Amino acid sequence: MIFNHPASPVLTHLFTLSAGIGRSDDTGDGATGRRIRDSVGEGTFAGERLRGELLPGSADWRLIRRDITSIVDARVMLRTDDGALIYMSYGGRIVVPPDVLAQARDPERRHLLDPAAYYFRTAPVFETGAEAYRWLNNIVCVGTGRLTAKGVDYDIFEVL
């Protein structure tokens, strides 16, 4: 197998994922911080090579550390428009400065917050047995997130 990739990483857009946030379950302050499970409501993803919907049951088991950094721990099931199932999991970090935290938590105003005012990055990985999408099992990706009126959007990039 021959790979012809540049020595320095190059990012190419894979897809944009839009997800509504459903119910949140908050365990309260624990030994390592505050664990919150944000269930995913309706969602879609679309890019040049794949598109489809997020399936129910997807969620983020975030840990909010005492320094207010959120540790992302998300597990998402994607169904492509041609019926293939793809498991996507990702870790990451969300850092919202104290001066914009109230707006970021407010569903009525969070989408008005400039994404440059906070840090929202993820590192998705994929698993699938669907022949048309097996290439996803072997790529490295990074994602940038932003708050929206209905929840969150992620731009997912393949690292070449």
Backbone angles phi, psi at 40, to 5 degrees: -90, 130
- Per-residue pLDDT band for 17 (boundaries 50, 70, 90) equals very high
pLDDT at 2: 63
Convert the pLDDT of each residue in 28-47 to its tens digit. 998 889 999 999 888 999 99
Whole-Å CA distances, 141 to 15, 77, 136: 11, 17, 10
Cβ contacts of residue 111 below 8 Å, gap of 6+?
A: 147, 148, 149
Instruction: Report pLDDT digits (tens) over 96-116.
Output: 999 998 999 888 999 999 999
Residues near 74 by beta carbon (within 8 Å), at least 6 away in sequence: 58, 59, 60, 61, 88, 89, 90, 91, 92, 122
**Domains located in the chain, CATH noted:** 22-143+154-159 (2.40.160.20)
pTM score:
0.90
Instruction: Please tell me the predicted confidence (pLDDT) of residue 93.
Output: 97
